Amino acid sequence: MRWIQTQIQSSALKMPIGFDVLLPESKEPMNSLYLLHDSNMDHSQWLRLGIESFFEHSNCALIMPQGNNSLFLDTKNNYNFFQFLTKELPSLCSTWFPLKKEQTSRYIGGIGTGGYTAILAAITVPSFYQKVVTIEGQFDINDFYNKENLNDISLWLGDQDSFQNSAQNLWNPNIISVDSFNTDITLITNSLSNVYKQNCELCNHLSQYHNKKVHLELLPDKQFIFQAMNKLSEVITNISKEVSPWQ
């Protein structure tokens, strides 16, 4: 795959922002998978996990934006990361790269807090993504307000009450409708994880709106991240492959 490192002057963010793209060795129109990193990480997280090994023979472009510590959400200081993710970035990538334009060709995934925003994007922009896959999704954003980094999260997203009532709260029933659910959602976790309960609760919550499109994948704890990356590839490409386990 071809690795492209890009930095642009974002109109949504009003500042420079970087993103990486892995492109298949093909000139044919290709699918696209947007990958969101965890908090306190950056877009290189996916490369460090060897994402290219799992999509090496697929016709899928991997688009990995930088979200800083915004959780890819719009902030109270008008750093509109969610707008960048859902509007500016897809428009830019479809102009620069030979991406297919049908919903069936577009996917989004996230790890940790990136999983939260991946699902929020699918609900907020119906009919855009065909599938969402999360790995160890961190879905209790309110929990951030109860920890030592209270001041940090408040500076980004505002006070807790404002966030709970906002359109960026995934648990806010006012932002979800049956019409939002034409996207398949897969939550990957394991029963020993500290986010296992959150994943089960979100699966039950979203299943109220469309139970046939929400799936909980419980994987073994041993070599979990490797198994999860393999499952991500399988869900997106519909192909089960043999990838050598990490040593």
Which CATH number covers residue 229?
3.40.50.1820
C-alpha to C-alpha distance for 27 and 6, rounded to whole angstroms: 20
216: in domain? yes
Mean pLDDT of the region 88-115:
96
What is the number of structural domains in the chain? 1
C-alpha to C-alpha distance for 117 and 17, rounded to whole angstroms: 18
245: in domain? no
C-alpha to C-alpha distance for 15 and 93, rounded to whole angstroms: 18
C-alpha to C-alpha distance for 211 and 189, rounded to whole angstroms: 18
Mean pLDDT of the region 223-243:
87
Mean pLDDT of the region 42-64:
94
119: in domain? yes
pLDDT of residue 217: 97
Flag whether pLDDT at 178 surpasses 90. no
176: in domain? yes
Flag whether pLDDT at 180 surpasses 70. no
Structural domain for 232, as ranges:
2-237
Q: What is the mean pLDDT of the chain?
A: 90
pLDDT of residue 148: 54
What is the DSSP track for 83-103?
A: HIIIIIHHHHHHHHS-B--SG
Question: Residue 129 class from Cβ within 10 Å (0-12 exposed, 13-18 middle, 19+ buried)?
Answer: buried
Q: Is 8 helix (H, G, I), strand (E, B) or coil?
A: strand
244: in domain? no
81: in domain? yes
Q: Return the DSSP state at 21.
A: E
243: in domain? no
Contact 114, 37 (CB under 8 A): yes
Flag whether pLDDT at 149 surpasses 70. no
Percent of the chain whose pLDDT exceeds 90: 66
Q: Report residue 145's pLDDT band, with 50, 70 and 90 as the boundaries.
A: confident
247: in domain? no
- Cα angle 201, 131, 215 (rounded to 5 degrees) comes to 35
Beta carbons within 10 angstroms of residue 45's beta carbon: 18
| Paired tokens of 167 | 């359109």
Mean pLDDT of the region 164-183:
81
Tokens 């979800």 sit at which residue?
A: 176
Flag whether pLDDT at 239 surpasses 80. no
Contact 175, 206 (CB under 8 A): no
